[in-house]
Amino acid sequence: MKTYYAAVEGFIEGAYRKVGESVGKMTDDQAKYLVMAGHVTDVAPAAKDEKKDK
Domain that holds residue 24: 2-53
What pLDDT shows up at residue 23?
Answer: 95
Overall domain count for the chain: 1
Residue of 32, 53, 54 whose CA lies nearest to 42 = 32
pTM, two decimals, is: 0.81
What does the mean pLDDT of the chain come to? 89
Element (H, E) at 45: helix 45-53
Residue of 33, 48, 42 whose CA lies nearest to 13 = 33
Q: Which residues pair with 15 in a beta bridge?
A: 12
How much is the average pLDDT of 15-42? Answer: 95
